[in-house]
Structure 1
Amino acid sequence: MYDFLIIGGGVVGTFIARELSHYEGKTLLLEKESDLSQVQTTHNSALVHPPAMIPPEKGELKSRLARQGNEIYQTVAAKFDVPVNKGGAFLIAKNEAEIETLLEIEKAARERGIDEVRYLSKEELLAKEPNLNDEIAAGLEMPSGMSADTSVLTKKIAANAVKNGAEIVTGEKVRSIEFADDVFTVKTESGKSYQSRYVLNAAGAHNETIARMIEEDPPYRMRPHRGEYMVLDASEKNFMRHIIYPLPSKKGKGILIIPQPDGTTRLGPTSTYQESVDDTPLTEEGAQEIRSEIASLAKNVPFDKVYREYSGVRSSINQDDFYIRASKEYPSFIHVAGIDSPGVTSSPAIAKYVVEEIIIPQEPLQKKGNVYLYDTE
């Protein structure tokens, strides 16, 4: 019998396992793939967004947890020796008409107490990044933006959870969930059965599928969006040193230039709604959109050095904000749903939120007397 069973071994589920492993009780994480972080966690932008890019109008909870998550990463990444690119980020006004919006974003950030933002003129930007498009007008500097190796991150977090007593089982796809006598029975396609007092649904794009195994009418619907990317070879690591954002639109944060810790540079993502939560096709339309949008941000783009293209599915739902709540039907079934962008950024703060604001109000937890905060062996 387990106290907590987490479904989903991406960065969010793994951070939750680590957080729970610091408390008394038995914690188990089940992941359907053969290894952790094989789906959404490693098929995204690998971004730790600066807080100015996630204002409350994108979702109150998203904004709050992204800001907290960014702060936590400054310590966690170093303590776990996770490869990061801490070059910071620029938000770009492509022309004079966009400067007013840029200044509004700067003002709103400062009103929220985000003092890191700094207005840069065209000349200042080009001095720092000579390959920016000559037509750009101005920008905001946001030093706390960074990218991280999310695969290494997830494995280090998982190792710490195991060090503190959690169990992690991969290759176990959940087939059914039943509830009787205050206990969930989770059955997998391998024929195994696990019992737990709590179930935490951190299944990403499969959140609704898992929820429907226990709830008659889940409180959200998946609205998956496909994001396509191009990746420049590490030989072009000096093409751009900062993360480059265009001004955000109704579709999202837009198509970015994202230098990675390994020297490669990700260009993307697109954002295309699709019905499937599994299919991740690469399309010529996506490639053309990336090329066009990146060309509006930068010159001398070495598209001939694109060595890889990939696509991922964001676990968006029919609500603007994250949905992190206890089930109305089964309070010990916890939804951790709609964790699209800024999911990686928010993940350590999501874990704390789940434990401190969802579980502990239901059932006080006791911290372990000897907790390994960052040990992995």
Structure 2
Amino acid sequence: MLVRKTSIRLGSVLAAAGLSLALFFSAGPALADAGFQNWVASFRATAAKNGVSGATYDRAFRGVTDIDPEVLEKARYQPEFTAPVWDYFDNRVHENSVAVGRQMARKWKPWLDRIEAKFGVDRHILLAIWSMESNYGEILKNDKVMRSVVRSLATLAYADKRRAKFARTQLIAALKILQSGDIDVSHLTGSWAGAMGHTQFIPTSYQAYAVDADGNGRRDIWTSIPDALATAANLLRKNGWQAGKTWGYEVTLPAGRKFPSGSMSLAKWQSIGVTRVNGKGFPHGSDSAELKVPDGRGGPAFLMTKNFSVIKRYNNADKYALAVGLLADEIAGYGGLVQDWKRPFTKLTFEEKQELQQRLSAHGYYDGKFDGKIGQGSRSAIKAFQVQLGLEPDGHPSMEVLSTLRQR
């Protein structure tokens, strides 16, 4: 969480040492490892100045002898992929994420009752964040995704000029987490950028908000669901979450009218013709709200309230906060969008997307998981299939493509 995707130029880091990027990778591990090991040895003093004991430092770096090349690959190749708005939401708010969210709501109800009572944050928002951040913990089981936080952050601090300052700060925080005894070094795992646990907190955010909800003396967001959900709730509460209020409303806009930018009261928006899609009035009419139309005037429109801004403190992106809100509403049983996103094709259900992947695999176009999530691998497979048939290679996971596959 709270990590921004930016490009990296590792060559600029190595240029200062008179090394080319090609030499760095072609000279073999000995050259790279020697420099990294020297960096680890020198950073020990920096850690000590920030309150990390020598014993903790040595324990953390035991066995960490070289950089993690996959971390650098992920850091270097973070394309600014401008996906259509429907693509982002279709992969996050769907039948499966809603069904599992409702299952988790039942399974963890006693804890959700306590967390909601203590922090005032709607349980469905917490479940939606859990889904968005780790697919309800499923990614924590994936060794290809989860890796040593110490090694990942040390790799970035050593070899990534643009992320070095961030990584050094996060590495110190991670070492302090280890020193506190909340987690042992073998379980101090996270994403390539150091986001940790079920609710994907970077180390400094963990330090600020982590909660021992289950009372075992450790703030364990890796294996304790109560700790992870309470930690997310604590972040939202401390950033101004308004208990008993929503994140926003889907609304209908009167045709042919322009609207002011910025916030107005919900009552004011209603007075100029902006109404809820379900025909009900706005509770708390004096509350301020801002109009958002992420898919243009032809797509769904929303009035976003204070809690929408609070969700953005978790991840400062409108799409993220809106996906959390929409998923939370569906888990709670309030229903989905009335005005759907503008798609140039017929949408598939989650199960139909899995079938699409299975059929593409059977024909030799796709070799990924049948997970219903349409990423670059699925889109490339669809395009290859479309090219073979002489169709426009748009890569869309459409009913048109699935129907054609069913006929083959």
Global fold match (TM > 0.5):
no
Higher relative contact order (CA 8 A, sep 6+): 1
Higher strand share: 1
Higher helix share: 2
TM-score category of the 2 structures, normalised to the smaller one = under 0.3
Task: Give the TM-score of the pair, scaled to structure 2.
Answer: 0.22
Task: Give the TM-score of the pair, scaled to structure 1.
Answer: 0.23
